[in-house]
Amino acid sequence: MSRGLNRRVFLAGSAAAAAGTIGATAIPWTSAHAAPALQQGRPVEVPDVDVRPAARADLTEATLAEAATLLRRRATSPSELVEAHLARIARFEPTYQAFNAVTADAARAAAKAADRRRSGPLAGIPLCIKDNYFTAGVETTANSFVFEGFVPPYDATAVARLKAAGGIVVGKGQMGPLATTRATQPNGTVTTVNAWTPQDPSVDPGGSSTGPATAVAGRLACSSIGTQTGGSIVGPSNQQNLTGLKPTMGRTSIYGIIPLSYTRDHSGPLARDVLDAAVMTAVLAGPDPNDPRTLGLPAVPDLVTAALPVRKKGRVVLRRSTTIGVPPDFLTGNAAVVALRRTFLDTLAAIPGAKLVDVTYPADWGLLTGTFNAIRLSERTEPFLPYLKQDPKLFGVSLLSWLQGLFLSGDEWITGQRAKHHLLRELLDGVMSKCDVLLQTGPVPFDILGLPELGLPIGFAPVGANPAVPVGTILGAGPYEEDRLLEVGAAYQAVTDWHTRRPADPAAPAASARSAVVKPRLTPEEVAATTA
């Protein structure tokens, strides 16, 4: 598929979504809605990989690909793999608070069935599901009062596809209320901690897919899925030493996910490395009749192959020659982070096939990515108007950001949509006209526009009293070019080992110490300022 055709298809879909002509934002929560479709693209196969000694010694250390390799070689069983993760959940979940619900009994039953007959590329793999994905028979609350007690009658398409591929759900991941902030109680009190700083809840674990990130980083699940509207996949991945892939809008279905913003909601994986992210995305991707955004798109490329490093004469090279754009703000800010980014650039530049070029932003970049970004607020408010009218207290500490959407006029929304398409033109015709992928210091503008981006770890830096907190970076690409991002990520991870590092187990605090821990509490103003 040519880049020009990719762009035309993407622009048509983006315009249709903005006009509200392909699907509704109403919350699909009754049994009258259709069951999820399992149709996908190309068959997914997890390749055999070299299993590290640490993964052989402790199954919870294994990447998804390592776990699949061990299962394929009969070095372990689904039940053994699931029990290893459930044991860590029982031991460390009181500290991490990564889950809204742990589905231990169902996971054990699924593992025993997989012991007898393994089917699918994820057969026996323990997974965490963000709590805004519908899970049949399991409460789905999006960590909010709005959906308290809601038990969906069916699985979201993404969940159904993971299960059909053999994946085993061990629990629902804690999240920011209605996908707005880091994971908190609806009143703003912080819950889930960063797995790298479990005794310091002030360190940001990333949001709103906080629980899925902490579950994977803390070795409570082998991989996970989250959602992204304003950085909620790549952000937690950067904060917790994971690899997160936000696909192009429509590449993966959002059917059966409690919405935040129809034109910006994406589903995707938070994984341990590029290969795991590719496998998860390949399982999730493909057309879904229940989500019109997924229909009529270019075929899903071979993501798994793209995530495998290429070597020539023993040296890692890029699968395709790739020009990597470096924006003017990439080497600004915190000195320790800038040093890591500089080393990251040097490492990329040393890989044959990689070419680094400086790019510039247009004069109106800040206006387009900042001020006009507020138009998302009215889009998120619209499907929740009945709940706002019913009882504003249902929205807890995030109420202010929902009310803000009520005060945007129709002409402001239209102007914002024009600004969004102007931004898209500035990005594709301007900034990215000289490069294949673009480095970023944050998720904007790729999540605003529905373009794919990859977050991956590049080292550690001190934060407060914590000497080593993960630092990541973000790469963005053109429409449907997830494979290009994976190729760059695979080459980088083949010559570095940041992604293989795991946090130490948290110390079990004494009862007196537990009672003395005071969790931070976000204010409504803080939530409004940092909301997705």
Cis ω before 202 (30° cut-off from 0): no
Among the listed residues 144, 223, 232, 398, the single catalytic one is 232
Determine whether 202 is an active site residue: no
DSSP string over 345-410:
HHHHHTSTTEEEEE----TTHHHHHTGGGGGHHHHHHGGGHHHHHH-GGGGGGGHHHHHHGGG--H
Tokens representing 115 are 């012991």
Residue pair 278/304 in contact by the 8 Å Cβ criterion: yes
Determine whether 130 is an active site residue: yes
Determine whether 144 is an active site residue: no
DSSP string over 311-354:
EETTEEE-SS-EEEEE-TTTT-S-HHHHHHHHHHHHHHHTSTTE
DSSP string over 99-161:
EEEE-HHHHHHHHHHHHH---STTTT-EEEEETTB-BTTB---TTSSTTTT---SS--HHHHH
Neighbours of 355 (CB within 10 A): 14
Residue pair 489/475 in contact by the 8 Å Cβ criterion: yes
Cis ω before 452 (30° cut-off from 0): no
Among the listed residues 79, 144, 208, 223, the single catalytic one is 208
Tokens representing 258 are 């409690």
User: For residue 434, what is the enclosing H or E element?
Assistant: none
With vertex at residue 104, the alpha carbon angle to CA 275 and CA 132, rounded to the nearest 5 degrees, is 65
Among the listed residues 14, 130, 237, 253, the single catalytic one is 130
Residues identified as active-site: 130, 208, 232
